[in-house]
C-alpha cells in the first residue's frame, strides 16, 4: 500500500513512522520540506518527497497520479494564530488547500482520506463538565477553528458525494520535537519548556500561554491516524485523539521537571481573557472502533521528546 501525506512536519512524520514499520510506501507532499528534519525523524527510511503548494491543484493531481496512493493523509496547513496573519491568506491555504487535496484524491481514485482536524472544532463556549464526544457541537470564532470546521464539512460532503472512505481525527494539543515549525503556539510553548529545562536558564511564560489543555504526544497521534487510515470504518468518520484529561500548566511543568529538574518557570500576567479547557475529550469511540488509546504518560513522552531532540543535534 502507498500513503501520500500532505505535510512533512511533526504529525505527518509521526504517521509515516507507523506506515514505514509495516513496509508501506510513503510519499510526502510539502511546500517547504526540510530534509534534515525528515531524516532526524525517519532516519534512513525509504520515502519519496514532492515539493508543492496546497493551492497548486495540478501539482497535487500529478503527485497522486504518479504515486497512486490508496490512502491520503491530510496534515498540511497553518496552525493557530498563523491563520490570522493575514486571515485572507490563511483561509485560502487551509480551506482552499483542503478542497484541492480532496479534488485531487477524487480524480486519482483514492480509496480512503484521513483528515487530521483538531479538538479546536468543538464549541468551547458550550463547555460543561462531562467529556466531549464526537457529536458535540462544532463552532468557533477564531480563523483557525473556523477553517478546520469548514474543512470537516467539506470533507464530509466530498465523501458523501463521491463514495470514498473518510476518517477525521481530532487531536488534542499535539507536542513533540518539531511542532513549533508549523506555527503551533502550544507546540512552541512546550518546546520552550524543554529547551529551558535543558539549558537551566529561567523561563517566563505569559498567562495566555500558561493555560490548561488536553495533550497528546506525537507518537500516540501517529498511531491513532494509522489506525484511522486502515481499519474498517462502518460509516463512522470522526475520532477523538487525546489523553482523556485536562492537564494544568503546573502539571505540565512538573512532567517536564521530572525529566529535566533544572526547569525554572515563571508565569507573567498578560492582557485579556485567557480561558482554559474545562472538558477533556471522550476517547471511547477511538478505543472501541480503532482499538487505540494513548501509550505515553506525560513523563514518558517528555523523556522520549528530550532523547529525540538531543539525538537531532
- pLDDT of residue 235 exceeding 90, the answer is no
For 101-131, write each residue's pLDDT tens digit.
999 999 999 999 999 999 999 998 887 878 9
Could you tell me which residues come within 8 angstroms of residue 47 by beta carbon, excluding any fewer than 6 positions away? 16, 20, 26, 27, 28, 38
What is the residue extent of each domain of the chain? 2-175+216-244+278-295
Architecture of domain 2-175+216-244+278-295: 3-Layer(aba) Sandwich (3.40)
Helices (H), the chain: 10-21, 35-42, 57-67, 87-91, 97-107, 143-162, 185-199, 218-230, 249-259, 284-289, 298-311
Residue range 298-313, pLDDT digits in tens: 999 999 999 999 887 7
pLDDT band at residue 184, thresholds of 50, 70 and 90? confident
Amino acid at each position: 500500500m502507498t500513503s501520500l501525506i500532505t505535510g512533512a512536519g511533526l504529525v505527518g512524520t509521526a504517521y509515516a513512522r507507523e506506515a514505514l514499520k509495516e513496509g508501506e510506501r510513503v510519499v510526502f507532499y510539502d511546500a517547504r520540506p526540510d530534509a534534515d528534519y525528515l531524516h532526524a525523524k525517519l532516519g534512513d527510511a525509504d520515502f519519496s518527497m514532492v515539493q508543492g503548494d496546497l493551492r497548486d491543484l495540478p501539482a497535487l493531481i500529478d503527485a497522486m497520479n504518479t504515486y497512486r496512493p490508496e490512502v491520503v493523509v491530510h496534515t498540511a496547513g497553518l496552525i493557530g494564530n498563523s491563520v490570522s496573519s493575514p486571515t485572507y491568506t490563511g483561509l485560502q491555504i487551509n480551506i482552499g488547500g483542503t478542497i484541492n487535496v480532496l479534488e485531487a484524491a477524487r480524480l486519482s481514485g483514492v480509496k480512503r482520506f484521513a483528515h487530521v482536524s483538531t479538538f479546536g472544532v468543538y464549541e468551547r463556549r458550550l463547555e460543561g463538565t462531562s467529556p466531549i464526544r464526537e457529536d458535540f457541537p462544532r463552532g468557533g470564532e477564531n480563523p483557525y477553528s473556523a477553517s478546520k470546521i469548514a474543512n470537516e464539512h467539506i470533507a464530509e460532503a466530498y465523501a458523501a458525494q463521491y463514495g470514498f472512505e473518510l476518517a477525521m481525527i481530532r487531536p488534542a494539543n499535539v507536542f513533540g520535537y518539531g511542532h513549533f515549525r508549523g506555527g503551533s503556539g502550544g507546540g512552541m510553548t512546550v518546546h520552550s519548556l524543554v529547551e529551558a529545562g535543558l539549558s537551566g536558564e529561567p523561563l517566563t511564560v505569559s498567562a495566555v500561554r500558561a493555560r490548561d489543555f488536553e495533550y497528546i504526544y506525537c507518537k500516540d497521534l501517529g498511531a491513532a491516524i494509522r489506525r484511522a487510515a486502515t481499519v474498517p470504518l462502518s460509516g463512522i468518520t470522526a475520532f477523538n485523539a487525546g489523553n482523556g484529561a485536562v492537564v494544568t500548566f503546573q502539571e505540565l511543568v512538573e512532567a517536564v521537571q521530572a525529566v529535566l529538574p533544572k526547569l525554572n518557570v515563571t508565569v507573567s500576567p498578560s492582557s485579556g481573557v485567557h480561558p482554559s479547557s474545562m472538558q477533556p475529550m471522550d476517547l471511547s469511540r477511538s478505543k472501541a472502533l480503532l482499538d487505540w488509546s494513548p501509550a505515553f504518560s506525560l513523563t514518558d513522552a517528555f523523556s522520549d521528546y528530550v532523547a529525540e531532540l538531543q539525538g537531532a543535534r
